Amino acid sequence: MRRLYFFFAIALLACSHKTADQQLIDAADPAASWMATLQLTGEKWLDNSVPSSFVRATIGAAQKAFDKTSGTIAQSQARKELRDEIKRELETARAAAGDLQQAIEKNDRRTATGAVRRFAEASAALQRLQQQKNRE
């Protein structure tokens, strides 16, 4: 009887097992979502639709999410190219967030526009990875 439970548990584990690559891409999903959020936030700030305080608060929340994803990457067993790629997009987004933060303080619309574009690219790259994973 005990052997039956054992095999059952193994089978269950095997069925629900995702590869380390898939797990990492899933873990990066919130980061991609925040990048898209910052893109929209930046666009709306340029449109004068949202106040600067909101942009600041959103950047703060996004950075926390980026930090969490960085931690997950560090512990991940996924292959190196994938980890590096996601790390790259995270860095782009982080830098863009920093630029956006400064841009709104100085009302620098040009820098803000640049930051928005980089958010768009980074989130698009991560979403491409998601789509590739779903096709597998």
Question: Which pair of structure tokens corresponds to residue 133?
Answer: 């994973």
Angstrom distance (rounded) from CA 63 to CA 68: 9
Could you say which of 10, 11, 57, 95 contacts another protein (CB under 8 A)? Answer: 57
User: 52 with 45: CB under 8 angstroms?
Assistant: yes
Q: Is 70 in the site for another protein (CB under 8 A)?
A: no
Query: Binding pattern to another protein, positions 22-41, x when CB under 8 A?
Result: -------xx-xxx-xx-xxx
Q: Which residue has the tokens 């666009």?
A: 43
- Angle between helical axes of 109-135 and 20-27 (0-180°, round to 10): 150
Residues 94-133 interacting with another protein (rule: CB under 8 A): 123, 127
Residues that bind another protein (rule: CB under 8 A) add up to a total of 26
Give contact residues for another protein (rule: CB under 8 A). Answer: 29-30, 32-34, 36-37, 39-41, 44, 47-54, 56-58, 61, 65, 123, 127
